[in-house]
Amino acid sequence: MKKEDVKVGAIVSAKSEEELTKPFIGKVEKIYDNSALLAITHYDPADETAISDLNNKLVVNFKNLKPASASTIKNSKTATLSEVKVEKLNKVKTTEKKSSKKSDKKAVKKNTKKAEKKTDKKKK
């Protein structure tokens, strides 16, 4: 494509000479002198790790861009903004925490008293 044909917000098909192994589809976010910044929207599953490392963005030379077709979009994986897995954690009751702290303190006091008694016996 030529620079004049590329518009911000346009959906284009592209290939990367170095970063990715398969063609992908992206939305033009910014236009430079000889290239455009693309937000990757659809890609081949083989490039999933590389795309994640690139934060779903890539600068591509105009010569590697062409208008996206509907068939290209169907055969690719859709990029997700976040694939973070969230799990709900169980809350521990504060009364359980307090009681366990109290029992720990009692155990320390008991052991300290035993140690003191032993040293007293040795002194006698």
pLDDT tens column, 71-115: 666 665 665 544 445 566 666 665 555 555 556 666 766 666 666
Tokens 């990757």 correspond to: 40
- Domain coordinates of the chain in residue numbers? 3-78, 90-124
Domain 3-78's class? mainly beta
Number of neighbouring beta carbons within 10 Å of residue 13: 19
Highest mean pLDDT among 1-15, 88-102, 109-123: 1-15
What is the H or E stretch that residue 122 is in? helix 94-123
pTM flag (> 0.75): no
